[in-house]
Amino acid sequence: MPDVTSQVRARQESGSAGPDGEVATVPAAQPEPAVRAAPGPTPERLARAWARAIAGTSFVSMTPAELRSYLTGLAARLLSAATADTFEASVGFEVGVALVKAHFTQPASLDHTLRVLTEQLSDVGECTRAPALQSALAAGYAHALRERTLAEQEEIRAAAMLARSEAEAARWASEARFQAVFAGAVIGIAIADIEGKIVDVNQTTCDMLGYTVDEFRQLTVDEFIHPEDAPGIWDAYRALTRGEREHFRLEKPYYRKDGQIVWTDLAVSLIRDQDGQPRYVVTMVEDITERHHLQTRLRHQALHDPLTQLPNRTLFFERLGQILDDADDDARVGVCYLDVDGFKMINDTLGHDMGDYLLLAVARQLHSSISGPGQLVARTGGDEFVVLVERSAGPDQLVEIAEAALAAVRAPVQLGGHEITVSASVGVVERAAHTTSATELMKAADTTLHWAKRDGKNRWALFDADRHAREVTKFELSAGLPAALERGEFLVEYQPLVRLEDETVMGVEALVRWRHPKLGLLGPDRFIELSEETGLIVPLGQWVLGEACRQAAAWRQQYPDIDLVTSVNLAVRQVQDPSIVAEVSAILEQTGLDPGSLQLELTESAVMGTSGRPLETLHALARLGVKIAIDDFGTGYSNLAYLRSLPVHSLKLAGSFVAGLRPPDCPDPVDKEIVATLIKLAHTLHLTVTAEGVETREQAARLRTLGCDTAQGWHYAMPGPPEHVLALLESSVCQPSPAI
Ligand code: C2E
Ligand code: CA
Ligand code: CA
């Protein structure tokens, strides 16, 4: 008595399946009630939907309850993989294998399974997990099917070998066991002689390719060459007929007699005669057309962006990897990495649907305007696109493409009744292919894209190795700052402030330096801006202040009769920090320094136009008795009228004005006039004036004539360690440095 499966098969083959193509042994599950609570996916719920979807797709002898319970087990594994702490895509693979094991071997079973999982897993776990599980499942499924076919083919091959051992090929026909397998096999079998003439085919082969046995016998193997045959297949075939190999397997397309294409999985084996001479070639052919199409579709889905249908990030990197792998020494490669400007705002204000629509429009424009040979437009992220240029002709070509891309993005788009225009920024990288890896190339592209954004958007930027190196150093410095402060790598140098009238030292300016373990002594121009950006300037500035005050107190102790002002720079962020007043007062208290011996230098931007808290801070500092000087005066926004109302004691004239007084014969008359006016104005406001950057005797002399109070510069002394100041204090008069 035949088993249930073969009964089912017989009914299915003779068209006796249920009304929905459903097989009697697997009726559909009972329909769900129409009203349900919002379905959080549980194993049971997923299994129910799954069972409904795949019931009847394959010949399976399970009752609906058995099927549901089987699928519940698989569903539980998928759900826990989707939400587990560490993600294992291999669970998908195992579930694919389990489906084949349960005889769900028809492509529709896989197709419907994937569809159900797309619906049910979309909101479970991280968004990348469901697709990863699905593709692992498809891979496991294909693997298990192949294993199964292999086992079947092995059985046939064994039978053919048995026939061979009967010595004579003619006796194949009478070899009962072989005949049975040959005729009854659900896969096609074709036998050809060594010259390629087809000797025999079974009915399955005839059905598959649409020829009768007699028609087949008129054909030779060569007539089945197909343009999409894998390279090398016919070489392998000839090697087999020469007896150089025993068998091979591959996937191959055939034209059916009616012209349609059938995709097959082939196992080709050599049969030798008794003397070991090649005699026949047995080909076992399995029709995998549906699976092939499914796989092609899955692959397309896996490699293309569903919204724009452009190649996605994976395909982009696959292609780039190939180009780099295949590159010869003079091959060049380039990318334009494009990001739509302000896309987030469009999404937030017009909604995600409009955002999607816009991206679609951008994708179309890009695709149609950039389509040269070897050029691939991909969507690599939300609003990011890349043009990959194979065999690039040089940076100029890439820049041209970047401009075309920018123009394409700028084309107006109709969006919800409005015409809107967007712009983009593009990072362009072009280099010799063998000098780069895909990761390096894309990192450079990312950096360059940020340059384009930073330089004002709506433009392209071309990668520049020097700029990049400078930025890397800058970044490394910036990252190293906090540890450097902790390790005590900073130090303070002091530069005298000299009273022009009698050339005595009336004060010093504290200037910070960084003794970098690798780069040596670094001036503040290398790190002050960075520490302002990162906020480290607050603790660093506080450290300088403490250090300078301690030093000032020590000098004071040693030379109680010399009135020395120690001037310390305060960054804008320090002034904005409300605790600065308490800190200054605490430091003064700790060091015992008289507040009048401390001067704080603030830039114009820190004091001018300030209102509210910074202004209060300034007044509070002044109330402590500390002097306030405006640093680099004249380089910023100078509102002299406003200055009047501020508690400021001194102006430091920026070195650029003083530079105009330098030429020995003819000082720049405008600069001279400005300096004269500024000094007068300052004096009217009862402010003292310090000139910075005094490098020559002439400058010093002119400044003295113009009534300037104090000078600072190389003419008198370079910034130096505290001992230098000590030496000057001992002589009490600052000797101009002879060298300058
Ligand atoms: P600044 O406050 O204007 O300091 C004067 C700068 O002029 C110093 O540069 C000094 O070395 C330089 N200099 C002195 N004499 C001459 C000269 O005759 N000719 C020329 N061309 N330059 C001269 P340095 O030490 O490199 O400091 C640069 C800037 O870094 C300072 O400019 C100041 O803005 C900042 N800075 C230095 N130390 C600190 C600090 O502790 N905190 C803060 N916030 N900024 C600091
Ligand atoms: Ca200063
Ligand atoms: Ca200055």
Domain shared by 272 and 380, yes or no = no
Distance 630 CA to ligand 3 centre (A): 8
* DSSP at 89: T
Nearest CA to 708 out of 509, 498, 494 is that of 498
Q: What is the pLDDT of residue 174?
A: 53
Paired tokens of 72: 């519940």
Residue 77 shares a structural domain with residue 41: yes
Residue 484 resides in a domain: no
The percentage of residues in the chain with a pLDDT greater than 90, rounded to a whole number, is 63
Does residue 355 belong to any structural domain of this protein?
yes
pLDDT at 5 over 70: no
Pairing of strands 504-516, 424-432: unpaired
Query: Do 90 and 191 belong to one domain?
Result: no
Q: Considering just the CA atoms, what is the radius of gyration of the chain in Å? A: 42
470 falls within a domain = no
Extract the tokens encoding 646.
């501020």
**If you measure from the C-alpha of residue 601 to the centroid of ligand 2, how many angstroms do you get, rounded to a whole number?**
6
DSSP character for 32?
P
The CATH number covering residue 589 comes to 3.20.20.450
Range of the domain at 68: 4-152
23 within domain boundaries: yes
Nearest residue (by CA) to ligand 1, atom 5, is 692
Looking at residue 282, which CATH number applies to its domain? 3.30.450.20
Angle at 422 between CA 421 and CA 428, to 5 degrees: 140
pLDDT over 60 at 554, yes or no: yes
Residue 216 burial (C-beta neighbours within 10 Å; 0-12, 13-18, 19+) = middle
Same domain membership, residue 654 and residue 582: yes
**Domain end call among 242, 271, 293:** 293
Q: Which ligand lies nearest the alpha carbon of 654? A: 3
Domain-embedded: residue 653: yes
Closest CA to 338 of 496, 259, 453: 453
Checking if the pLDDT of 16 tops 60, the result is no
User: Ligand 1, atom 41: nearest CA belongs to which residue?
Assistant: 512
Most confident among 325-329, 546-550, 645-649, 679-683 (mean pLDDT)? 546-550
User: What is the C-alpha separation between 296 and 324, in angstroms, rounded?
Assistant: 25
565 plus 713 within the same structural domain: yes
Per-residue pLDDT for 616 more than 70?
A: yes
Alpha carbon of 511 to ligand 1 centroid (Å)? 6
| Residue of the CA atom closest to atom 4 of ligand 1 | 511
Kindly give the distance from the C-alpha atom of residue 496 to the centroid of ligand 2, in angstroms, as a whole number.
12
Closest Cα to atom 46, ligand 1: which residue? 569
pLDDT at 164: 53
Of 155-169, 334-348, 606-620, give the lowest mean pLDDT range: 155-169
Q: What is the 3-state secondary structure (H, E, C) of 210-277?
A: CCCHHHHHCCEHHHHCCCCCCCCHHHHHHHHHCCCCCEEEEEEEEECCCCCEEEEEEEEEEEECCCCC
Question: Do 548 and 569 lie in a common domain?
Answer: yes
- Looking at the fold, whether 109 and 211 belong to one and the same domain comes out as no
Quick check: 10 pLDDT over 80? no
Residues 6 or more apart from 324 whose CB is under 8 A from it? 333, 433, 434, 436, 437, 438
Q: What share of the chain is helix, strand, coil (3-state, %, to 5)?
A: 50, 20, 30
Q: What is the pLDDT of residue 177?
A: 62
The residue among 27 and 645 whose pLDDT is bigger is 645
Number of structural domains found in the chain? 4
CA 720/CA 115 separation, integer angstroms: 75
**The pLDDT value given to residue 220:** 94
**Are 455 and 323 members of one domain?**
yes
**Atom 11 of ligand 1 has which residue's CA nearest to it?**
719
Residue 178 lies in a domain: no
Q: Which two tokens stand for residue 616?
A: 């209060």
The answer as to whether 672 is a domain residue is yes
- Ligand found nearest the CA of 529: 1
pTM above 0.85, yes or no: no
Same domain, 358 and 428: yes
Among 234, 264, 293, the domain boundary falls at 293
Q: In the prediction, which pLDDT does 319 show?
A: 96
Is the alpha carbon torsion for 71, 76, 79, 85 positive or negative? negative
User: What's the number of CA atoms in the CB half-sphere (13 Å) around residue 666?
Assistant: 2
CA–CA dist 214, 200 (Å, integer):
9
Angle at which helix 438-454 crosses helix 313-326, to 10 degrees, equals 120
Q: Give 616 Cα–ligand 1 centroid separation in angstroms.
A: 27
Nearest to 713 by CA among 633, 634, 658: 658
- Point out the domain boundary residue: 250, 271, 293: 293
Residue 671 within any structural domain of the chain: yes
Predicted pLDDT at 89: 84
What band does 171 get if pLDDT is binned at 50, 70 and 90?
A: low
From ligand 3's centre to the CA of 131, what distance in Å? Answer: 60
Q: What mean pLDDT is reported for the chain? A: 87
388 shares a domain with 310: yes
pLDDT band of 175, cuts 50, 70, 90? low
CA 509 to centroid of ligand 2, rounded, Å = 7
pLDDT (tens digit, 9 = 90+) per residue, 460-484?
999 999 999 988 888 899 999 999 9
Instruction: Give the mutation target among 492, 531, 569 for probing the ligand 1 site: most ligand atoms within 8 A of CB.
Output: 569
Residue nearest (by alpha carbon) to ligand 1 atom 19: 693
Q: Which of 511, 580, 587, 661 to mutate to test the pocket of ligand 1 (most atoms within 8 A of CB)?
A: 511
* Per-residue pLDDT at 562: 87
Residue 21: what pLDDT?
Answer: 35
CA 658 to ligand 1 centroid distance, Å: 15
| Between residues 58 and 576, the one the model is more confident about | 576
Q: Which of 537, 602, 692 to mutate to test the pocket of ligand 1 (most atoms within 8 A of CB)?
A: 692
Cα(546) to ligand 1 centroid in Å equals 18
Closest C-alpha among 235, 232, 289, 226 to residue 254: 226
* Shortest-distance Cα residue to atom 44 of ligand 1: 571
- Cβ(613)–Cβ(578) below 8 Å: yes
Separation CA 715–CA 705 (nearest Å): 17
> Same domain, yes or no, for 616 and 680?
yes
- Spell out which residues line ligand 1, taking CB within 6 angstroms: 495, 511-512, 523-525, 528, 541, 544, 569, 571, 601, 631-632, 655, 692-695, 712-714, 719
Are β-strands 565-569 and 598-603 bridged in parallel, bridged antiparallel, or unpaired? parallel
Could you identify the atom of ligand 1 that is nearest to the CA of residue 603?
Answer: 34
pLDDT for 593 beyond 60: yes
CATH of the domain at 437: 3.30.70.270
Q: What is the largest CA-CA distance in the chain?
A: 128
Same domain, 593 and 718: yes
Q: What is the pLDDT of residues 365-402, one digit of tens each?
A: 999 999 889 999 999 999 999 999 999 999 999 999 99
Q: Please state the rounded mean pLDDT for residues 125-152.
A: 83
Percent of the chain whose predicted confidence (pLDDT) is above 70: 89
Of 229-233, 293-297, 360-364, 677-681, which one has max mean pLDDT? 360-364
Type of residue found at 378: A
706's tokens: 């113009």
